[in-house]
Chain A
Amino acid sequence: GQSLEQPSEVTAVEGAIVQINCTYQTSGFYGLSWYQQHDGGAPTFLSYNALDGLEETGRFSSFLSRSDSYGYLLLQELQMKDSASYFCAAYPQGGKLIFGQGTELSVKP
């Protein structure tokens, strides 16, 4: 089957750094995406890794290791507005995304 695993919830304080891990098992694999979803809102695209290594976009970075079937999203200088759910999504064969269950990030003052 195809599945992704990520922690259900993570808590951190403002200004800190947090890492949200994701392991995947898919039939065929092109890359790993990350999406952010605030309560009551729509998922929004954050990043995509097709190659191994770290991709940086402002305060957010995403990492992929194909050999370990593993990736993570790194959020730096956390702000209250970063409180949201974060989804990893694998892009396997078949023209669709397979989403993880989501990690609820709570940022405390």
Chain B
Amino acid sequence: DTAVSQTPKYLVTQMGNDKSIKCEQNLGHDTMYWYKQDSKKFLKIMFSYNNKELIINETVPNRFSPKSPDKAHLNLHINSLELGDSAVYFCASSQGDNTYEQYFGPGTRLTVT
């Protein structure tokens, strides 16, 4: 059983389009995250939800909107895609105070042309 899963794994789209990435975890964790990893492998947190409540919202363009329908799911919707949005997006989860130990999904490679 996959612990943290993401769909799709690859996403190729044109500038200006709107796209969504979905994430699900079956670990029973209460906190989920979205990270962006750029071409230099820099891993930066974008958002964090705890029990469906947004707790971290880094300086991210408001074209990015996360949604957590329940504590096992965290989706990311991106409006008006730009070239600079091309990156690998990772979903992750953790339990309780164990923020230091996060479980990552396989990533979604987004390419904007």
Contacts and interface: CB of A to CB of B under 8 A. Distances in A.
Q: Indicate the size class of the contact surface on chain B.
A: 20 to 34
A9 to B, nearest CB: 11
Interface of A: 30-31, 33, 37, 41-45, 48, 50, 85, 87, 89, 91, 94-97, 99, 101-102
Given A43-B102, A95-B50, A97-B102, 15 more contacts: A33-B100, A33-B101, A37-B41, A42-B104, A45-B101, A45-B103, A48-B100, A94-B56, A96-B99, A97-B45, A97-B99, A99-B43, A99-B44, A101-B41, A102-B42
A95 B40 CA distance: 25
A30 B100 contact: yes
Contacts of B102: 43, 45, 97
B27 interface: no
A95 B99 contact: yes
25 contacts: A41-B106, A41-B107, A42-B104, A42-B107, A43-B43, A43-B102, A43-B104, A44-B104, A45-B103, A48-B101, A50-B100, A85-B41, A89-B100, A91-B100, A95-B48, A96-B33, A96-B56, A96-B99, A97-B45, A97-B99, A97-B100, A99-B43, A101-B40, A101-B41, A102-B42
Contacts of B92: 43
